[in-house]
Amino acid sequence: MSINSIHWFRKGLRLHDNPALLEAARGSDTLRCVYFLDPWFAGASNRGVNRWRFLLQCLEDLDSSLRKLNSCLFVVRGQPANIFPRLFKEWKVSRLTFECDSEPFGKERDAAIKKLASEAGVEVITKISHTLHDLDRITELNGGQPPLTYKRFQTLVSSMEPPEPPLEPLSRELLGNCVTPVRDHHRERYGVPLLDELGFDTESLDPAVWPGGESEALMRLEQHLGPDSNTAWQENFERPKMNSSPLLASPLGLSPYLRFGCLSCRLFYYKLTELYNKVKKNGSPSISLYDKLLWREFFYTAASNNPRFDRMEGNPICIRIPWDRNPEALAKWAEAKTGFPWIDAIMTQLRQEGWIHHLARHAVACFLTRGDLWISWEEGMKVFEELLLDADWSVNAGSWLCHSCSSFFQQFFHCYCPVGFGRRIDPNGDFIRRYIPVLRDFPAKFIYDPWNAPDDVQRAAKCVIGVDYPKPMVNHAEASRLNIERMRQIYQHVFAQIELCRMGSRCLTSSVFHRCTLFPPLVVIVSISMYSNVLYMNLMKMYIFTICVFSFSTEY
């Protein structure tokens, strides 16, 4: 009896280190690789043109790589649940493989597809390859609950075996006698669509700063970590000193490729380890070497069983903060019209290129939420979801929870100044001149706060503030002081609730759980005997520290 396999691409848009794809090819007579694309979803989804272009380039590159193996990609228009039953019959499918998805909505979707496959007599094989570890195992080691502090997460990961080594890419040798049946008119029916076919205007679209695809990802990885790499940190594994250049998109950047799975996180992990061992020669690498990968893993773990992870209401790990609703202010932030050149330059870069530096992300997130505008992190998350190439549901939501001090990070008294912070990174203002050209002729002394420039300086720069460039939409000093006080009061109430719950057995009842409305997860966490005393003491230390330094809040 012949074995006819489908490999379903979602993330994991690559041939290297793709265990589910290798399972699809193993012993199969036919193999079809599919990707589902809903044309209606293209117009209705919160995904901007740069993200769609990157995805389509990934699919084009994947198709090209498969064609070198005498195969090809089938881009199927429609929803998997609606189309798979037909494909199972039409292609006489006996095996379906795909990469595990740790996110709640992905689990729900996959459970439905597994049910359809079972009813059709199709074997389903799934493999973990989008994360370094089995996230369920991390949760199991933590007593059945995902770790909610990065330090605890690091402790758990340190106790586990290293990630599985990356697997070899699919090759003609591994395919053996397996073939991909291709009919006439394949391009018309299953080809990768163009952007304009999805309804996007491409005439005014700038060239891609981040070309999509596995080929680009592997080339960048080799330049970044390969034997000929001359990056500054290769010799000492320390970040280079900040200047204006890190704020620009790096030709060695990898984050969008990890997000779409064009690059295996396990390959990155082991290449990094290999380079460390080559340079250092003695000693084992510290877990901090993999910090960026582990933060990604941490947010995936925290979100894995929390379908409300991207929302405040109903999210058991999010402080319920009474954010303001201000559509006009939100629009000014999103459209780079705040009147703060540093913030506007960042948001312009994001909209044009689809990427911003992690310090820039901190700055604009703080400005929108707890720093200046007091607007919900959910609104900022939606803008990033639309514009940011590497925006991932778990990582994007987790980052906004953290930046807004709604979860994971409680040092709300640290506030990024929209003038001073950028000036310290890029004193000459070259980043602003690049993305806000109307300000390019301002002297460095005033480019971060041009409203303070004398009238003659503004006229000489051919940019009058309030006419050619907007005035600041808020008084940062006043807004940040007010918002820090708001956060202090909220946290004071949170810790008072925790103390009340610790003092009475009623804290474990659902009625008190719902009364602890600001931060219900802490109520649950402190009730767990294994961690309650340690966590409680750490939280109280944080609270006391917060109160002590509140009057001397740092803007950096």
CATH number of the domain enclosing 77: 3.40.50.620
In a domain, 422, yes or no: yes
Same domain? For 150 and 108 the reply is no
Same domain? For 407 and 371 the reply is yes
In a domain, 176, yes or no: no
Q: What is the mean pLDDT of residues 191-204?
A: 90
In a domain, 184, yes or no: no
Position 496 confidence tier, pLDDT thresholds 50, 70, 90? confident
Give me 328's structure tokens. 């006009």
Instruction: Kindly report the number of other CB atoms within 10 A of residue 554's CB atom.
Output: 10
Residue 347 pLDDT exceeds 80: yes
Angle at 449 between CA 443 and CA 455, to 5 degrees: 65
Sign of CA dihedral 421, 423, 425, 426: positive
| Closest-CA residue to 15 (of 68, 77, 87) | 68
Same domain? For 142 and 289 the reply is yes
Residue 228 pLDDT exceeds 70: no
Residue 430, SS3? helix
The number of domains in the chain is 4
pLDDT score for 522: 46
pLDDT score for 201: 86
Same domain? For 409 and 496 the reply is no
pLDDT score for 548: 42
* Chain segment 29-60, per-residue pLDDT in tens: 999 999 999 765 555 467 899 999 999 999 99
- Which residues neighbour 287 within 8 Å (Cβ) at sequence distance 6 or greater? 154, 157, 158, 294
Same domain? For 135 and 276 the reply is yes
CATH number, domain of 285, equals 1.25.40.80
d(CA 464, CA 470): 9
Spatial contact of 93 and 5, defined as CB atoms under 8 Å apart: yes
Angle at 251 between CA 250 and CA 257, to 5 degrees: 90
- Which residues neighbour 412 within 8 Å (Cβ) at sequence distance 6 or greater? 370, 405, 484, 487, 488, 491, 546
Position 246 confidence tier, pLDDT thresholds 50, 70, 90? confident
Position 241 confidence tier, pLDDT thresholds 50, 70, 90? very low
Residue 544 pLDDT exceeds 80: no
Position 245 confidence tier, pLDDT thresholds 50, 70, 90? low
Same domain? For 457 and 359 the reply is yes
- Known binding-site positions: 245-255, 390-392
In a domain, 412, yes or no: yes
Give DSSP secondary structure letters for 4-54: EEEEEESS---STT-HHHHHHHTT-SEEEEEEEE-HHHHHHSS--HHHHHH
H or E element that contains 74: strand 73-77
In a domain, 188, yes or no: no
Residue 164 pLDDT exceeds 90: yes
Residue 187 pLDDT exceeds 50: yes
pLDDT score for 431: 97
The range of the structural domain enclosing residue 456 comes to 327-475
Q: What is the mean pLDDT of residues 331-342?
A: 99
Residue 550 pLDDT exceeds 60: no
Q: What is the mean pLDDT of residues 288-300?
A: 90
Q: Which amino acid is at 526?
A: V
pLDDT-above-70 percentage for the chain: 84
CATH number, domain of 462, equals 1.10.579.10
Query: Which of these three, 305, 339, 374, is where a domain ends?
Result: 305
Residue 203 pLDDT exceeds 60: yes
Same domain? For 248 and 141 the reply is yes
Q: What is the mean pLDDT of residues 523-540?
A: 41
| Closest-CA residue to 256 (of 61, 389, 132) | 389
In a domain, 203, yes or no: no
Spatial contact of 521 and 316, defined as CB atoms under 8 Å apart: yes
Across the chain, mean pLDDT equals 87
In a domain, 207, yes or no: no
Give DSSP secondary structure letters for 54-67: HHHHHHHHHHHHHH
Q: Is 85 exposed, middle or buried (0-12, 13-18, 19+ CB in 10 A)?
A: middle
Same domain? For 519 and 395 the reply is no
- Indicate the length of the chain as a whole number: 556
102, 392, 487, 519 from 130: Cα distances, Å:
9, 12, 36, 31
Position 547 confidence tier, pLDDT thresholds 50, 70, 90? very low
More confident of the two residues 245 and 401? 401
Same domain? For 447 and 483 the reply is no
Give me 426's structure tokens. 């890029």
In a domain, 390, yes or no: yes
pLDDT score for 250: 87
By mean pLDDT, which of 118-132, 232-246, 408-422 is the weakest? Answer: 232-246
| Closest-CA residue to 316 (of 493, 501, 523, 154) | 523
Query: Which of these three, 475, 503, 538, is where a domain ends?
Result: 475
Spatial contact of 486 and 478, defined as CB atoms under 8 Å apart: no
Same domain? For 512 and 427 the reply is no
Same domain? For 369 and 454 the reply is yes
d(CA 225, CA 516): 49
d(CA 53, CA 13): 14
Residue 233 pLDDT exceeds 50: no
Residue 396 pLDDT exceeds 90: yes
- Known binding-site positions for FAD: 245-255, 390-392
Query: Which of these three, 130, 159, 185, is where a domain ends?
Result: 130
Same domain? For 429 and 471 the reply is yes
* Chain segment 66-118, per-residue pLDDT in tens: 999 999 999 999 999 999 999 999 999 999 999 999 999 999 999 999 999 99
